[in-house]
């Protein structure tokens, strides 16, 4: 498991991560959400060992991040694939660098390119979304135990995004531990076993239904004829509905409602 305990990180005296703790177990997807500048990338970079922490500890299966690089596949937020290579060559080279035997590296690289529906042409000729898929394939190529993906679906079209979601769910089913950041709340709603809302510190965390109950957010009853919305306590819902003389729909609060409630004007 990845275990992050009471981690702090500052840049030039400004605290960016304040006392952050969390775990990622094998076979689950943990998702970090938060505003721009909220400290997600800084935190991910510490988990995969690119930055050191000022205080606190990070371990990956009991090892320091630097000693556990082989067990982590990483897609950083701002990295482009190398030009001058075909898509499959890029993934192949990353496989060889990561120690995959050469005979297996080709079949893995080609298989991933096919699975992610990327045309196998020169990297510089690919669209932005397809370039991201090259990075994702490169992260997956040595079949690491953990995946750390910093906004992996930014710039992907809806079909590609859904394909990646399916791949992540499949990988989770095969026991991978996945740590993900995103600005797409529907992505977190679809994928995340546990969500962390981060703005410098962790403001709220848990399974989505736990977040709802922690905030005791009311249910929303919508008058389908007028669009009028009513916010009703859970236990009041049956009584409220019995009084309705209009067509209605009852909604639980979405992750977006939770996010807005927690981040307030900061998010
Ligand atoms: N190398 C650095 N030197 C100085 N400040 C930095 C550095 N890296 C990040 N920061 C600052 O740390 C804060 C957190 O940045 P970070 O990139 O971790 O946020 P984020 O949550 O990933 O944001 P986004 O959603 O925009 O990707 C920001 O104020 C940023 O300007
Ligand atoms: Mg970021």
C-alpha to C-alpha distance for 29 and 168, rounded to whole angstroms: 8
Confidence of residue 265 (pLDDT cuts 50, 70, 90): low
Share of the chain above pLDDT 70, in %: 99
Confidence of residue 156 (pLDDT cuts 50, 70, 90): confident
Residue with tokens 């080709």: 106
Of the ranges 75-89, 199-213, 253-267, which one carries the lowest mean pLDDT score? 253-267
Q: Do 231 and 199 sit in the same domain of this protein?
A: no
Q: Do 197 and 224 sit in the same domain of this protein?
A: no
Q: Do 179 and 253 sit in the same domain of this protein?
A: no
Q: Do 80 and 144 sit in the same domain of this protein?
A: yes
User: Can you give the residue range of the structural domain that contains 252?
Assistant: 214-266
Q: Which of 183, 206, 229 is the last residue of a domain?
A: 206
Q: Do 95 and 218 sit in the same domain of this protein?
A: no
CATH code where residue 58 lies: 3.40.50.300
Report the pLDDT averaged over residues 195-210: 95
- Determine the pLDDT at residue 33: 97
Q: Do 219 and 180 sit in the same domain of this protein?
A: no
Residue identifier of the C-alpha nearest atom 31 of ligand 1: 37
Q: What is the mean pLDDT of the chain?
A: 93
Q: Do 76 and 173 sit in the same domain of this protein?
A: yes
Residue identifier of the C-alpha nearest atom 24 of ligand 1: 36
Q: Do 95 and 220 sit in the same domain of this protein?
A: no
Residue identifier of the C-alpha nearest atom 4 of ligand 1: 11
Residue identifier of the C-alpha nearest atom 1 of ligand 1: 11
Q: Do 12 and 123 sit in the same domain of this protein?
A: yes
Q: Do 113 and 220 sit in the same domain of this protein?
A: no
Interval between CA 63 and ligand 2 midpoint (Å): 25
Does the pLDDT value for residue 267 go beyond 70?
A: no
Could you report the per-residue pLDDT of 13-64, keeping only the tens digit for each? Answer: 999 999 999 999 999 999 999 999 999 999 999 999 999 999 999 999 999 9
Ligand nearest the Cα of residue 45 is 1
- Determine the pLDDT at residue 185: 94
Cβ–ligand 1 contact at 11 (below 6 Å): yes
- Determine the pLDDT at residue 159: 85
Could you report the per-residue pLDDT of 99-127, keeping only the tens digit for each? Answer: 899 989 999 999 999 988 899 999 999 98
pTM assigned to the model: 0.89
Interval between CA 42 and ligand 1 midpoint (Å): 6
DSSP string, 93-104: HHHHHTT--HHH
Q: Do 166 and 236 sit in the same domain of this protein?
A: no
Q: Which of 162, 189, 206 is the last residue of a domain?
A: 206
Crossing angle of helices 128-140 and 87-97, in 10° steps, is: 30
- Determine the pLDDT at residue 163: 84
Confidence of residue 244 (pLDDT cuts 50, 70, 90): very high
Given strand 194-199, what is the order of strands in its sheet? 72-75, 146-150, 177-181, 28-33, 194-199, 201-206
Does the pLDDT value for residue 241 go beyond 80?
A: yes
Q: Which of 206, 225, 247 is the last residue of a domain?
A: 206
* Residues pairing with 63 in the sheet: 60
C-alpha to C-alpha distance for 156 and 97, rounded to whole angstroms: 27
Non-local (6+) Cβ contacts of 240 within 8 A are 221, 230, 232
- Determine the pLDDT at residue 254: 85
Confidence of residue 266 (pLDDT cuts 50, 70, 90): low
Instruction: Quote the number of domains for the chain.
Output: 2
Q: Do 58 and 128 sit in the same domain of this protein?
A: yes
Q: What is the 3-state secondary structure (H, E, C) of 67-84?
A: HHHHHEEEECCCCCCCCC
Confidence of residue 79 (pLDDT cuts 50, 70, 90): confident
Cβ–ligand 1 contact at 41 (below 6 Å): yes
């Amino acid at each position: 498991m990845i275990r992050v305990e009471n981690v702090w990180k500052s840049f030039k005296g400004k605290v960016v991560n304040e006392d952050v703790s969390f775990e990622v177990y094998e076979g689950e997807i943990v998702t970090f959400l938060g505003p721009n500048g909220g400290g997600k990338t800084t935190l991910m970079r510490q988990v995969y060992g690119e930055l050191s922490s000022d205080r606190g500890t990070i371990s990956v299966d009991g090892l320091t991040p630097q000693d556990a690089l082989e067990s982590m596949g990483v897609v950083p937020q701002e990295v482009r694939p190398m030009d001058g290579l075909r898509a499959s060559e890029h993934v192949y080279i990353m496989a060889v660098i990561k120690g995959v035997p050469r005979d297996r590296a080709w079949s893995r690289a080609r298989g991933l390119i096919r699975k992610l529906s990327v045309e196998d042409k020169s990297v510089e000729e690919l669209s932005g979304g397809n370039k991201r898929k090259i990075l994702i394939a490169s992260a997956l190529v040595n079949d690491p135990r953990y995946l750390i993906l910093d906004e992996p679906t930014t710039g992907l079209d809806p079909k590609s995004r859904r394909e990646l979601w399916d791949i992540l769910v499949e990988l989770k089913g095969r026991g991978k531990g996945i740590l993900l950041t995103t600005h797409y709340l529907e992505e977190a709603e679809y994928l995340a076993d546990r969500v962390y809302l981060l703005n410098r510190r962790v403001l709220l965390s848990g399974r989505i239904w736990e977040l709802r109950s922690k905030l005791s957010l009311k249910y929303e009853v919508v008058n389908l004829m007028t669009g009028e919305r009513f916010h009703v306590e859970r236990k009041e819902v049956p009584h409220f509905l019995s009084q309705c003389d209009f067509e209605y729909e009852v909604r639980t609060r979405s992750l977006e409602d939770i996010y807005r409630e927690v981040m307030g004007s900061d998010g």
